[in-house]
Amino acid sequence: MKILMVNKFLYPNGGSETYCFKLAEYLKKMGHDVQFFGMEHERNIVGNNLDINVSNVDFKEISFSKLLYPFKIIYSLEAATKIRRIIESYRPDLVHLNNFNFQLTPSILYEIKKNRIPVVMTLHDFQLICPSRMMYVEHEKKECEACKGGRYYNCISNNCIHHSRIKSVLAALEGWLYYTLKTYENGIDCFIAPSSFLKNKFVEHGYPEEMIRVLTNFIVPDTGKKYGSKKRYVLYFGRLSAQKGMRTLIETCKQLPEVRFVVAGTGEMEDELKTIDNIEFEGFKTGEELIRLISEAAFSVYPSEWSENCPLSVLESQVYGTPVIGSNVGGIPELIDHHVDGLLFEAGNARDFAEKIKYLHQNPEVLKQFSIRCSAKAVNFTIERYYEKLMKIYQTAIRKKEKEICQEEDAYMVRL
């Protein structure tokens, strides 16, 4: 099968990119032909045979002085033209969409549809139903679904995007336009939701339930090396921000001075975390260094306070036999079996969080059983199992497109 993988960033930048690159690598291993389409960048590690990508657009730098930006992030004529050239040359059997809003724009959907190519999209966040993509107002530190039902003006009144009026206006306009035109429902044949929580949110916001398939993300563990035995530290790794629960983590650490915490990551709350006596700050870690931290931790914590979809940090911990204490929001409870392979606590509740940490810290036998179950559970997150289910979704999208084409041709013959 010839698959065109679409993602705005074609270099390592986050979870979406990790997913795309690992999946494409495995698809090629299984005999498929995979090419990429995204933005130009000096760090790109994948591409297409025509070496055609879209000019780099940085949404974070938008200002009134850059007059063409508002048009580029809503409808990119360049992206539409270039993906048309790739489609005409490559002739993919299927297009697999990932993150594309604000840079590639939904303009590409119209070109794909003209060519009658099946489209599958993996939903990495809430972008198609929330302009800020998080259903969370960062500067007010609160969850939000005010744009539900097409009320995108709330994005402007809440100043949702980077606390910027111009960016919020543009994001609201983009959201309202494609919501009104039903671009996503008409242009995408099947959505992949990594959690039931995400699927349910999209259904609540008006998307047909039959269009969305739940398929939990995969993890490709590094099994080539053996790491040390478990040590008595509690690990947090990831972005150091308020919505990730860092204020709750700080308050909890103060309540448990006898517990050793290790924090790996970067973010706006880094300096505050460094002031806590029982936190050892490791900075940003990747690769073998991060795997070692995860593998040797007694357990990890994931205190996020916004409704995350399917956080890879939880899966990564479990794959390496490290239980997780996570907040009971979003898709997190779908990954942690409470009192079986980990614990859940009330999001934002430092007292409840501290009690759960203290319990695991003082009960090594329970922790050992949790660790064994995490390792056994890892089989559910293999890329091999993911691939089997993904192929069924691909075939469903292809059959759906074939049926649409037949119906269109029948209608045409009737008119004749």
pLDDT in tens, 140-186: 777 889 999 999 999 999 888 878 888 888 899 999 999 999 999 99
Provide the percentage of residues in the chain whose pLDDT is more than 70.
Answer: 94
pLDDT at 19: 94
**Residues sharing a CB contact under 8 Å with residue 356, sequence separation 6 or more, in sequence order:** 325, 343, 344, 345
Distance separating the N- and C-terminal Cα atoms of the chain: 35
Query: Is the domain of 375 the same as that of 388?
Result: no
57 within domain boundaries: yes
146 in a domain, yes or no?
yes
Strands 299-302 and 234-237, bridge-based pairing:
parallel
Assess whether pLDDT exceeds 60 at residue 212. Answer: yes
d(CA 327, CA 167): 31
Same domain, residue pair 85 and 210: yes
What confidence tier does 65 reach under pLDDT thresholds 50, 70, 90? very low
CA 329 to chain centre: 15
Same domain, 196 and 277: no
CA torsion sign for 188, 193, 196, 201 is: negative
Tell me, letter by letter, the H, E, C secondary structure of the chain. Answer: CEEEEECCCCCCCCHHHHHHHHHHHHHHHCCCEEEEECECCCCCCCCCCCCCCECCCCHHHCCCCCCCHHHHHHCCHHHHHHHHHHHHHHCCCEEEECCCCCCCCCHHHHHHHHCCCCEEEECCCCCCCCCCCCCEEHHHCEECCCCCCCCCHHHHHCCCCCCCHHHHHHHHHHHHHHHHCCHHHHHCCEEEECCHHHHHHHHHCCCCHHHEEECCCCCCCCCCCCCCCCCCCEEEECCCCHHHCHHHHHHHHHHCCCCCEEEECCCCCHHHHHCCCCEEEEECCCHHHHHHHHHHCCEEEECCCCCCCCCHHHHHHHHCCCCEEEECCCCHHHCCCECCCEEEECCCCHHHHHHHHHHHHHCHHHHHHHHHHHHHHHHHHCHHHHHHHHHHHHHHHHHHHHHHHHHHHHHHHHHC
Domain span holding position 357? 234-380
Q: What is the CATH number of the domain that holds 55?
A: 3.40.50.2000
Domain co-membership, 113 together with 83: yes
Pick the range with the lowest mean pLDDT from 65-74, 205-214, 351-360.
65-74
pLDDT (tens digit, 9 = 90+) per residue, 323-367?
999 999 999 999 999 999 999 999 999 999 999 999 999 999 999
* Average pLDDT of the chain to the nearest whole number: 91
Q: Is residue 228 assigned to a domain?
A: no
Do 286 and 405 have their domain in common?
Answer: no
Buried b (16+ CB within 10 A) or exposed e, 199-221: bebbeebebeeebbbbbbbbbbb
Average pLDDT (382-387) is 96
Kindly tell me if the per-residue pLDDT of 371 is higher than 80. Answer: yes
Is there a domain that residue 245 lies in?
yes
pLDDT of 411: 67
276-297: pLDDT as tens digits: 999 999 999 988 999 999 999 9
pLDDT band at 21 (very low <50, low <70, confident <90, very high): very high
Q: Tokens at residue 166, please?
A: 């111009």
Do 301 and 278 fall into the same domain? Answer: yes
The CA distance from 218 to 230, in Å, is: 24
* Residue 224 domain-assigned (yes or no): no
Q: Residues 320, 288: one domain?
A: yes
Do 280 and 369 fall into the same domain?
A: yes
Q: What is the reported pTM?
A: 0.90
Tell me what pLDDT residue 410 has. 64
Query: Where residue 231 falls among pLDDT bands split at 50, 70, 90?
Result: very high
Helix axis angle for 364-377 and 350-362, nearest 10°, is 100
Quick: pLDDT tens for 386-415. Answer: 999 999 999 999 999 888 878 776 665 666
62 with 168, same domain: the answer is yes
225 domain residue, yes or no? no
User: pLDDT tens across 232-251, in order?
Assistant: 999 999 999 998 999 999 99
Give pLDDT, residue 402.
87
28 and 46 in a single domain? The answer is: yes
Q: What percent of the chain has pLDDT over 90?
A: 77
Mean pLDDT on 80-102 = 96
Q: In the chain, how many domains are there?
A: 2
**Separation of alpha carbons 23 and 96, rounded Å:** 11
Asked whether the predicted pLDDT for residue 206 surpasses 80, the reply is: yes
Asked whether residue 21 is assigned to any structural domain, the reply reads: yes
Q: Do 348 and 388 fall into the same domain?
A: no
Check whether residue 173 and residue 58 sit in a common domain: yes
In a domain, 223, yes or no: no
